[in-house]
Each structure stands twice: as C-alpha cells, then as structure tokens.
A and B are shown apart, each in its own frame.
Chain A
Amino acid sequence: MLRPEEMTRAVIVGSARNLDATIECLYDLGVLHLIDFTEQDEEFMLGQPLAGASDASQKLLKLRAMIRTLNIDEHKPVGQIPVQELRDKLTQALATLDLNTSSKAEDRQRIQSLMRERESEIKSLEPFRQFGIPVEDFDGYDNVSSFVGICKTAPGPALSSRLSMMELFEEVRKPDVAVAVFVRNDDRSEVSRILAEHGFQEVKLPRLKGDPGEIIERLTKEIEKLNADLQRIETDLDAIRKKFADFIIASEEDLAIEVLKAETPLKIAASANSFVIDGWVPSSRLADIKTALGDLTDGHVFVDTVEAHKEEEPPVKLKNPGAVKPFEFLINLVSTPKYEEIDPTLILFITFPLFFGFMIGDLGFGLALAALGAFIRAKFRSSEDLSRLGTIILLGGIVAAIFGIFVFAEAFGIPFHPPEESPDEYTWQTVVDIPVHPMLDKMHDIQEMLAISLVAGWLHLSVGFIFGFVNNFHHNRKHSYGKVAWLVLLLGLFAQLMAIAGNSTATSAFINDTVLFWMPGSTIDVMGIGVLVPALAMILGAVTLLPFTEGALALTEVIGLFTNLVSYARLAALSVGKGAMALAFNSMLLPLVFDSGNILIAIGGALALIVSQLFFVFFLGALSSGIQAVRLNFVEFFLKFFEGGGTDFNPLKYERKHSVATK
C-alpha cells in the first residue's frame, strides 16, 4: 500500500550448458524483469537463440497461415490439450494439414476470382440485353463510332434534334437509362458532349460473341456450377476446421511460447562458455529464484544482487491488498507511478466510492449500479480491466445505496417521507414506511451540501500536498517545503471560506468549533467581507514563501488553488442536479400513473417514467458521477504530487490458455 513492491537488482550467472534450464526456470517463476543487454564487447556478445528456435518459428508461421486460411483466429477451444500430445502429433498433423488446406485454399481463391469475373461480365451486359445486338457488334467499326453506357436521363430527344444520321438504342430502367449510340466519326465530339450533359458513363463490354441474353444465361449457369464447387471446398474446410481447430489453436500457443523462450538469449549477455542475465526481481521473491535455480542446476548457476545505480529506475509493480487492487485500473489510465513515488491507489479506493456515492446518493439507483457492477464483474471475468471496472462500479453502487438510505433517505428519486417544505410530494410512505429520515435533502439543503463538498475538497487536497511533500523530500528538499507552503495556503483559504459560512450550515459550524477551534476568531472588514485575521496571515505567509520554494511562477497558481477547492462544489452540484432531474420526471409522470384514472394513460406514464429515469437519471447520472469522481482524483488531487511515467513490471512469463504443460 502506498509504496510499490520493493525491487532488487539481480544478476544470474552460469555456464552456457545450463542456459536452457535457467531460462525455462525463470519463465516458470515469472518474477524476473529482464534488462536488455546492449553493451557488447569482445568477451560478451548477445546470446544465440536456443536450439530448435528456427524450426519452431517455421512451424509457427505455417500454423498461423493455416489459421488465416481456415479463418479460425477467433476460435475458442474447449478445454486444454496436454503439451506432450500436441508435440507428438505436430509434425504429422502439419504435413497432412498443410497439403489439404493450402491446395483447398488455392482452389477457393481461384473459384472466387472466376465467380467475380463472371458476375462483373453479367453486370456489364445486363443493361443491353434488350437491344438484341450481338456483343461483338457494339464496336469495332472503321467509320462509325459507338457509345455504349448508362445515362442518368434519356439523351434521345437531344441527340435526334442535333444529328441527322445516327442509330440510337435506349432502354429506360428505373433509376437510369441504358444507351447505345452509333454515329459517324465526324459527329463523335458533338455526341460525346451531349451525352456528358446527360451524365453518361461508358460501360466496357466483355470480349465475347453472341446474343447478350444467351451469354448471360450461360454465365449464370457457370456461376452456379462454380458456387457448387465452392460449397464443396467449404464443406471440406469445415470438416478440417471441426477436426483440427482446437489442435491448431493450442499448438499455435505452445509454439509461440517455445519461440518466446528460445529467443530469450537474444536479450542477454553470453560469452563462449557462460551467460549473464541481468534484471529486477521483487525482493520478496529473490530467495525463490535462488533456491529454484540452485536445485535445478546443482548450484552451477549463481544469483547475486548488485547495488543499482541511481539513474536506473526499477520497474514498478503496484502492491495493494485485494479489495484495493481493482482501483489500480484507474491509476493505469493516467500512468504508472514512478518507483520512488507514492502509489495513490489506496486514496482512490477511499475517495472514489465516497464521491460517487455522494453524487448518486440514492438507494434504488445505488443497488441497480451495484447489480450492474456485479454483472460486469461476473460476465467479463477473462478481461482484467473490465472485471476491475465492474468491481469499482459495484463498490460505488454499494456506497451510493448506503448514502441513499442513511443520508438522503430516498430511492429512485422518490423520498421515503415527504419533506417539510413540500408535504404533497409522492413518497414511499404510501407503499412502505421506512423508519429513516433524511439527514440531507437534495432539494432544500444545498448550502449544507456545498459546505460538505468543501470539507471533502480540503481533506483531499491536503492529502495531495502531504504526498507531494513525501515524494519530494528525498531528492528536492526545497520543493517539498513548497508543498508545506501550499498546505498552509490551502488551510488559510479553507478557514476563510468556513468563516464566511459561519453558522449558516451545520458543517461549517462543526468545523469552526472542532477542527479550527484554535484559530482566533478576530476579523477585519475588507470590501464587506469579514476576513479572518489568522487565515489572512496564513495565506500571506504562504504566498511569501512560494517564490522561494516553488519559483515565482507558482504565484499565478494561487488562484488555481482556490478554483481547485471550489471545484469540489461539483459533488453537491451533481447530487442536486441528479436529484432535481429525478424529481422533475417523478412529479410530471407519477400523477399520470396514479391519478389519471385511465389505465392506458397510467401505463404510458409508467413506461415514460421508466425510460426517462433509466436513461436520463440512471445512465447519464452514473456516467457523469463516475467521470467527476475520477476527475477530482485525476486533476485536483494528482496534480499536487503525481508525476507518473514509471516502467511497468513485466517479468519473463507466459500464460497457457489452451494447452497444459506436462512433465
């Protein structure tokens, strides 16, 4: 929590004949983040691929070609095939499969291209079949020019008014007109101009002989025959697919893993008789590597730790307990934290559901969201990101439901009991009497909610500055004192805002009496606003310190800090906005359902109510609340301390989905 997994720089050294076993072992453990070897010299060069690498890659290429031909890249095999079985059968299967599929694939391609050719011939002949002219007679004259094609509008009248000698064939079809015009060569350009005005497009006729109608009939029959051939090939391919798809996919996976392992030496240093593997290992797993490699090679491979140079940054593997882990998804959306940085996942785990829950604040919608989250989690178990998102929504939904019961006392935008201000409102009281009364009413306690938002903002931002202080403490002391100045400035601003609110809200009264009780309450009057003297002193003091710690430019961000704090008003704003929207739909549509007395209107009203609540309040509300809860963390909070840009911990390992390793 708050810190990523501690990493140790490990160097693994051994004699060349143990390289295979070492690589195998490292992949099985999956804890070494390899550092690519780059500084070659006379002694140490990049290693050579393990034996069998090129053979495996060739087979892999063949299999991938087959996967494309058979179109099974989306195929999901049922169950897993033992590796031994795959390897035993592979050579034989490849030979048979290659012979069958590649010839079939070629045939298929040939037939498909023939069919396309025939179809395009039919398409170009079709418009002219009614003219009764043999295909070879459409062109090829010495003194006569022919125009054959499609016009948008009939060019007949225009042509006959201009030309004395011509032969015109016209066939009006639904959207266009098929045209064949034969004219003297002298009139060629004139005709071409007139036709262009009618949107003429030339059609190139195929070099065939005979009546177009008969040709089309013949071609159609040919296509039918080709299609039958194609079907036969597809059936054969289907049979291959059914029989071998599982095998091919599983073999592809196994071979890909083989190649991955076999090519690993290309990233490590090797001399004639030895190898050196350099990388990062989680400190807690170092002993595992040592024992495993020691046992495997009878102590012929050594694992040693080295002091890392300062500029070499270890890879980052976030370390959070199970419940917090899903929130790493949100961190990854921004960037991986640096190794030295605080990992803010825990704060997201706390603040996201609280912010989200406060903004939704409704028992009904909260439970619905929790159900949606649980559904996403269960449905997309295989996708890590989606199942994490599901968990986040689930937690947010649960907190929203809790806020809905105990704080706002409402479900689906309908309060449990009528608020004092509007006793006629529809409530759950008519259905069931829930003995909880609201602490806050979204429509009538806006000031209170704003005050709560500001307190949340103050706490959240303060944590951000404290993190910033810790992050900078070791490598930039001055900068870290700057964070203290910001923290004081923030407290001054907050105290001033609370002083303005005074006793008008219970929250500000509580804060003034308990958290800020030590602050003298003396005020001076500036432009009609009572300015709290200690708050002013803190603000001025911090502003004076800022140029010395953070640089003069930081002064421009003082206003920014105020807007950051006020930015948390969105918590109240969204909650109120959503509440108002739900109330509006309810007060428009509920009377239709219950008071209209007409069953049809009641059903229509109920449908409209469900649709409007579902889309406008539930989906839009959840979406905007989610985005805003994330935003407050990403923008207001993260910008106080978070730099990111760390390297993800990416150890040597592989995952078998369709194949099972055998001893």
Chain B
Amino acid sequence: MALDPETAVGAGLALIGAGLAIGIAGLGTGVAQAQIGAAAVGATAENPKMFGRGMILMVLPETIVILGFVVAFLLLGAT
C-alpha cells in the first residue's frame, strides 16, 4: 500500500471504496437474512425437517457480502 504523496488521495479513496464495498454489501446481506432467517426459524419450529432447506435459503444472500469482499480485495490490490 503505497502512500506516495502524489497518489495518496487516490489510494485513500480506493480504501474508502473498499470499506464501502464490504460494509454496504454486508448491510444488504443482513437485511435479506433477517427476513429469511425469521421465516426459516418459523418453518423449522413447525417441522424440524425444514432445517436443511431453511438453512440453504438462509445463507443464499451471503453471496452478496462475499462479492463485496472480493471487490474490496481487488480495490486493496489496486492501491
């Protein structure tokens, strides 16, 4: 991570971008999982056999934050 005065601002912006990428992606995942999780727990309470299916649905939105992580990582590489 070069902090050369000439590119420092650009690097800083890229770092902020990396933070935003993972932070906002995380929020998105959270919003999605909150609703799916509540429904999945409800379904599992009624029929324990739903656990596996509930879990699969529950973790689907995690992909969003993983993509955020990858973007953040690529941005870190770019600085």
A634 located at the interface, meaning its Cβ lies under 8 Å from any Cβ of chain B in the complex: yes
A635 lies within 8 A of B60 (CB): yes
Residue of A with least CB distance to B69: A573
- Interface positions of A from 301 to 357, Cβ below 8 Å from B: 333-335
B59 adjacent to chain A (CB < 8 Å)? yes
- Report whether B63 and A634 are in contact in the complex, using a CB–CB cutoff of 8 Å: no
CB of B56 within 8 A of chain A? yes
Cβ of A634 and Cβ of B73 under 8 Å apart? no
Residues of A within 8 A of B55 (CB): 333, 630-631, 634
Contact flag A635-B56 (CB < 8 Å), given A446-B73, A450-B73: yes
Dominant SS at the B interface?
helix
B70 touches A333 (CB 8 A): no
Q: Is A602 an interface residue when CB atoms closer than 8 A count as contact?
A: no
Q: Is A570 an interface residue (CB 8 A)?
A: yes
CB distance from A334 to the nearest CB of B (A): 3
**Contact in complex: B66, A569 (CB < 8 Å):** yes
Q: List residues of A (420-448) whose CB comes within 8 Å of B's CBs.
A: 446-447
Q: Which of A561-610 contact B (CB under 8 A)?
A: 563, 566-567, 569-570, 573
In the assembled complex, the CB of A385 is this many whole angstroms from the nearest CB of chain B, namely: 11
- Asked whether A634 lies within 8 Å of B70 as measured between CB atoms, the reply is no
- Chain A hits for B51, CB < 8 A: 333
Tell me, rounded to whole Å, the shortest Cβ–Cβ distance linking A3 to chain B: 21
For A563, what are the chain B residues with a Cβ–Cβ distance below 8 Å?
Answer: 63, 66-67
- By the criterion CB–CB under 8 Å, are A635 and B53 in contact? no
Q: CB-nearest residue of chain B relative to A330? A: B52
Closest to A639 in B: B56
Residues of B in contact (CB 8 Å), total 16
Q: With A635-B59, A635-B60 given, is the CB distance from A333 to B67 under 8 Å?
A: no
* Chain A residues whose CB sits within 8 angstroms of the CB of B69 once the complex forms: 569, 573
Chain A residues with CB under 8 Å of B66's CB are 563, 566-567, 569-570, 573
A631 surroundings in chain B (CB, below 8 A): 55, 59, 62
Nearest chain B residue, comparing its CB with the CB of A447: B77
Chain B residues within 8 Å of A638, by CB: 56
By a CB distance below 8 angstroms, the chain B residues around A447 are: 77
**B29 vs chain A, min Cβ distance (A):** 12
> Across the interface, which residues of A come within 8 angstroms of B49, CB to CB?
335
The CA of A639 and the CA of B53, in the complex, are separated in Å by: 11
Q: Which of A334, A569, A630 interacts with B70 by CB under 8 Å?
A: A569
Residues of B within 8 A of A630 (CB): 55
From residue 15 to 73 of chain B, which have CB atoms closer than 8 A to chain A? 49, 51-53, 55-56, 59-60, 62-63, 66-67, 69-70, 73
Chain A residues within 8 Å of B, Cβ to Cβ = 333-335, 446-447, 450, 563, 566-567, 569-570, 573, 627, 630-631, 634-635, 638-639
For the complex with contacts A335-B52, A567-B63, A639-B56, 16 further pairs of A-B residues with Cβ separation under 8 Å are A333-B52, A334-B53, A334-B56, A335-B49, A446-B73, A566-B63, A566-B66, A567-B62, A570-B62, A570-B66, A631-B55, A631-B62, A634-B52, A634-B56, A635-B56, A635-B59
